[in-house]
């Protein structure tokens, strides 16, 4: 049994309560006057565990003395025999090492897709997941919960129908966090079941436990029942991220929360401070503002969503202010404190103080690498826990890939899935092409934002002669019928070739609508495609035609 290093066995022993309990019983036996003593020495459970581990690892007790300096009397023959039997029974409980073509660490979007792609290619695949539920941040705490809440909020508040029935119209009076959580829980349950079924159907084996590298090709999976060792030809690390911890922001899952904890706020606050004007902060700010909460966003940059089109961000800011949201831009939070009356105060670097009923800290996320033991694999990560990869998602080790949020930008579920698929394809030499320049962005604010291709700022910097065509939801029959009049679609195209260069949409269903533009853009189509195409009537898709006419008219 030389496979297990002494240090590893000790780690294992220290961690497993079951084993501890077993050895406590052994100790009790040894302390019992009916049993021989260990040379009259005092010893701790810990020492005894190490003693047993050493005996187990080396097959004899001789190394015990070297490693631990414990001198043990050998005791009576009967007791020794019993002890050997116990050790043998423990040895028998160690499962044999399993061999896989691919071991994936993490069952979020990146891990799922890597696993399924490899399984479809006939490979033996295991996924290791430390949580009891599969799906990662995407299904359990991030994308799916926030998008479900994003759906529940306008529905329950009657937000869109207020244009017809007046501002007092609500589907439900006094909306509670329980109402929102009700829908979220249903969707999480269903999504988890779908994913679990997908993995099973594809023959992917699932191990629940903390995955870590024991060596470059060996993954150890530990849980409260023991451990497994998986030997992997290839490994995909899809361990995702967790909210960054700031010692000056004491989150408590109650009134000072991070993005994983939003739905645990017990009651909808009257005033919510949102720290961070990135995607997560702004999405939640919009939802709470739509519920009638007074939202204050603190962002240290001069604008929200700095990577989005500036006109779109202006439009969003206008709508948010209309819902009483306040933007504190160029401001940074120094510290956060809970006040004796249960309120929360954010102290800004500029010495301002903002008081609210709750605070959402939506600044930064940290790679989930602390339990991976990357050193054993010879893989490195930066101080934010991001693993460096090449264009094929390979780490510095050729057989180890990393995908999804753990490699950093853009940290989207959509992109993580694609990276997972590509990593598996590269590992097993499968054909798979993908162009990151063609990846879309969807931001589920109220109204939504979605875009693809170049922005006006980029085209200006690159001296591309472009023109713009715009259509407004309010001028489209579907917009009037549904009450979604606050929206617009912008096409960017080359003045001479008429090639479509970019699409920016701000308005209801923007994330869905974008995909028409995406298809044309990626197929290298021209703006005239929209003119020559008949769209269903009445649909928001008609915006493409209206924007194309508008753009061509500008050419003169
Ligand atoms: C509030 C919020 C809203 C979001 N909204 C969107 C959106 O609308 N659209 C979008 O595209 N993206 C969205 N995202 C981003 C999206 O959730 C992530 O990009 C995506 O989940 C990343 O997938 P992943 O596979 O890299 O990691 P994750 O989904 O984080 O999964 C990683 C998994 O690895 C497991 N793990 C970690 N370490 C170990 C270990 N040592 N052993 C075993 N298992 C381990 C974790 O438990 C976890 O289950 C949102 C994120 C947040 C936080």
Please tell me if the CB atom of residue 404 comes closer than 6 angstroms to any atom of ligand 1: yes
Work out the average pLDDT over 520-548.
98
Residue with CA nearest ligand 1 atom 4: 143
Q: Find, among 29, 82, 86, the residue nearest to 38 by Cα.
A: 29
CB 468 within 8 A of CB 492: yes
The reported pLDDT for the residue numbered 142 is 96
Query: Is residue 15 pLDDT above 90, yes or no?
Result: no
For ligand 1, atom 38, the nearest C-alpha belongs to 239
CA–centroid distance, 413 to ligand 1, in Å, is 7
pLDDT at 497 over 50: yes
444 lines ligand 1 (CB under 6 A): yes
- Token pair 């399984």 is found at 119
How far is Cα 87 from Cα 93, in angstroms, rounded to an integer? 10
Ligand 1 contacts CB of residue 259 (under 6 A): yes
Q: What is the pLDDT of residues 377-401, one digit of tens each?
A: 999 999 999 999 999 999 999 999 9
pLDDT at 75 over 70: no
At residue 80, the pLDDT reads 56
Confidence band (pLDDT; 50, 70, 90) for 42? very low
Q: Which of 345, 320, 323, 324 lies closest to 335 in space, CA to CA?
A: 345
CB 411 near ligand 1, within 6 Å: yes
Q: Exposed, middle or buried, 312 (CB in 10 Å: 0-12/13-18/19+)?
A: buried
Residue range 196-200: mean pLDDT, rounded? 97
Q: What is the pLDDT of residue 168?
A: 85
Q: Please work out whether the CB of residue 148 comes within 6 Å of at least one atom of ligand 1.
A: no
| Cβ atoms 146, 153 nearer than 8 A | no
Q: Which of 368, 375, 401 to mutate to test the pocket of ligand 1 (most atoms within 8 A of CB)?
A: 368
- Tens of pLDDT, residue by residue over 120-171, are 999 999 999 999 999 999 999 999 999 999 999 999 999 888 888 888 888 8
- In 405-529, beta strands by DSSP E: 441-443, 449-453, 466-472, 488-494, 500-506
| Vertex 535 angle, CA 532 and 540, to 5° | 125
Provide the pLDDT confidence category of residue 172 given band limits of 50, 70 and 90.
confident
Mean pLDDT of the chain: 88
Residue nearest to atom 17 of ligand 1 (CA): 138
Q: Kindly tell me if the per-residue pLDDT of 55 is higher than 50.
A: no
**Least confident range of 59-68, 177-186, 265-274, 537-546:** 59-68
Ligand 1: nearest atom to the Cα of 284 = 1
Closest atom, ligand 1, to C-alpha of 372: 41
Is residue 299 within 8 Å of 328, Cβ to Cβ?
yes
Spatial distance between the Cα atoms of 139 and 195, rounded to a whole number of angstroms: 10
> Ligand 1: distance of its center to the CA of 108 in Å?
5
Give the pLDDT confidence of 76-97 residue by residue, as tens digits: 555 556 666 666 666 555 667 8
Q: What is the pLDDT of residue 56?
A: 43
* Ligand 1 close to Cβ of residue 143 (< 6 A): yes
Ligand 1 atom with least separation from CA of 147: 8
What pLDDT was estimated at residue 89? 63
- 232 — pLDDT class (breaks 50, 70, 90): very high
Alpha carbon of 147 to ligand 1 centroid (Å): 14
Taking the C-alpha atoms of residue 449 and residue 85, their distance in angstroms, rounded to an integer, is 66
**How does 58-95 read in b/e, with b if 16+ C-beta sit within 10 Å?**
beebeebeebbebebeebeeebeeebeebbeebeeebe
- Burial category of 532 from C-beta neighbours within 10 Å (exposed 0-12, middle 13-18, buried 19 and up): exposed
For residue 59, give the nearest of 20, 16, 2 by alpha carbon: 2
Closest to 513 (Cα-Cα) out of 553, 540, 550: 540
The lowest-confidence range among 12-21, 34-43, 252-261, 465-474 is: 34-43
Gap from CA of 239 to ligand 1 centroid (Å):
8
State the pTM of this model: 0.84
Does ligand 1 have an atom closer than 6 angstroms to the CB of 416?
yes
Of the residues 129, 131, 192, 239, which should be mutated to test ligand 1's pocket, given the most ligand atoms within 8 Å of the CB?
239
User: What is the three-class DSSP state of 471?
Assistant: strand
What does the DSSP assignment read for 303-367? Answer: SSSTTS-HHHHHHHHHHHHHTT-EEEET--EEEEEE-TTS-EEEEETTS-EEEESEEEE---EEE
Q: How confident is the model at residue 193 (pLDDT cuts 50, 70, 90)?
A: very high
Q: Residue 516 has what pLDDT? A: 98
pLDDT at 35 over 50: no
Residue of 238, 273, 246, 258 whose CA lies nearest to 129: 238
Q: Does the structure show a pLDDT above 80 at 324?
A: yes
Closest CA to ligand 1's atom 48: 136
pLDDT of the residue at 17: 46
Average pLDDT over residues 362-374: 96
Decide: 131 in ligand 1 pocket, CB within 6 A. Answer: yes
% of the chain beyond a pLDDT of 70: 83
pLDDT tens sequence across 396-411: 999 999 999 999 999 9
Instruction: Name the more confident of 161 and 234.
Output: 234
Q: Does residue 7 have a pLDDT over 50? A: no
Q: Name the token pair of 345.
A: 């105060």
> Domains (ranges, CATH) in the chain?
7-93 (no CATH), 98-243+367-437 (3.50.50.60), 256-360 (3.50.50.60), 447-554 (3.30.390.30)
Work out the pLDDT band at 63, boundaries 50, 70, 90: very low
Distance 241 CA to ligand 1 centre (A): 6
DSSP codes, 501-517: EEEEEESTTHHHHHHHH
125 lines ligand 1 (CB under 6 A): no
More confident position, 358 or 83:
358
């Amino acid at each position: 049994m030389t496979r297990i290093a002494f240090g590893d066995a000790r780690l294992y022993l220290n961690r497993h309560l079951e084993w501890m309990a077993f050895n406590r019983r052994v100790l009790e036996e040894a302390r019992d006057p009916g049993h021989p003593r260990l040379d009259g020495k005092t010893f701790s459970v810990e020492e005894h565990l190490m003693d047993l581990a050493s005996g187990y690892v080396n097959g004899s007790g001789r190394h015990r003395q070297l490693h631990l300096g414990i001198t043990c009397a050998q005791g009576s023959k009967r007791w020794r025999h019993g002890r050997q039997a116990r050790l043998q029974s423990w040895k028998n409980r160690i499962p044999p090492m399993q061999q896989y073509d691919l071991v994936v660490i993490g069952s979020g979007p990146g891990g799922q897709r890597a696993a399924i792609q490899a399984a479809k290619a006939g490979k033996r695949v295991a996924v290791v997941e430390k949580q009891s539920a599969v799906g990662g941040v995407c299904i359990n705490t991030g994308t799916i919960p926030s998008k479900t809440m994003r759906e529940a909020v306008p529905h329950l508040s009657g937000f869109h129908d207020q244009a017809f029935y007046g501002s007092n119209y609500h589907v439900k009076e006094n909306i509670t966090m329980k109402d929102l959580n009700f829908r979220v829980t249903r969707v999480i349950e269903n999504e988890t079941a779908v994913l679990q079924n997908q993995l099973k159907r594809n023959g992917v084996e699932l191990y629940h436990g903390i995955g870590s590298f024991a060596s470059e090709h060996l993954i150890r999976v530990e849980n409260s029942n023991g451990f497994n060792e998986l030997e992997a030809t290839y490994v995909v690390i899809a361990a995702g991220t967790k909210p960054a911890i700031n010692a000056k922001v004491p989150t408590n899952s109650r009134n000072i929360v991070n993005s994983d904890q939003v739905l645990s706020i017990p009651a909808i606050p009257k005033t919510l401070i949102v720290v961070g004007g990135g995607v997560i902060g702004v999405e939640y700010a919009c939802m709470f503002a739509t519920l009638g909460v007074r939202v204050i966003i603190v962002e240290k940059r001069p604008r929200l969503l700095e990577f989005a089109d500036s006109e779109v961000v202006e439009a969003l800011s206008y709508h948010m202010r209309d819902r009483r949201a306040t933007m504190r831009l160029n401001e940074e939070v120094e510290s956060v404190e809970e006040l004796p009356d249960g309120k929360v105060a954010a102290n800004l670097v500029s010495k301002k103080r903002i008081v609210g009923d709750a605070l959402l800290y939506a600044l930064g996320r940290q790679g989930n690498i602390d339990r991976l033991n990357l050193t054993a694999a010879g893989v490195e990560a930066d101080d934010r826990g991001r693993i460096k990869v090449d264009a094929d998602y390979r780490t510095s080790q050729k057989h180890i890939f990393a995908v999804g949020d753990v490699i950093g930008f853009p940290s989207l579920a959509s992109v993580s899935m694609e990276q997972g698929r590509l990593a598996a394809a590269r590992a097993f030499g499968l054909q798979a092409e993908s162009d990151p320049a063609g990846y879309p962005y969807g931001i589920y604010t109220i109204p939504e934002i979605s875009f693809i291709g170049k922005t006006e700022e980029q085209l200006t910097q690159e001296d591309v002669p472009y023109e713009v065509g715009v259509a407004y939801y309010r001028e489209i029959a579907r917009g009037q019928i549904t009450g979604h009049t606050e929206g617009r679609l912008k096409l960017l195209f080359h003045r001479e070739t008429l090639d479509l260069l970019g699409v920016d949409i701000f308005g209801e269903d923007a994330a869905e609508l974008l995909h028409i533009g995406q298809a044309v853009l990626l197929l290298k189509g021209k703006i005239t495609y929209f003119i020559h195409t008949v769209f269903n009537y009445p649909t928001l898709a008609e915006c493409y035609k209206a924007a194309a006419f508008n753009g061509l008219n500008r050419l003169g």
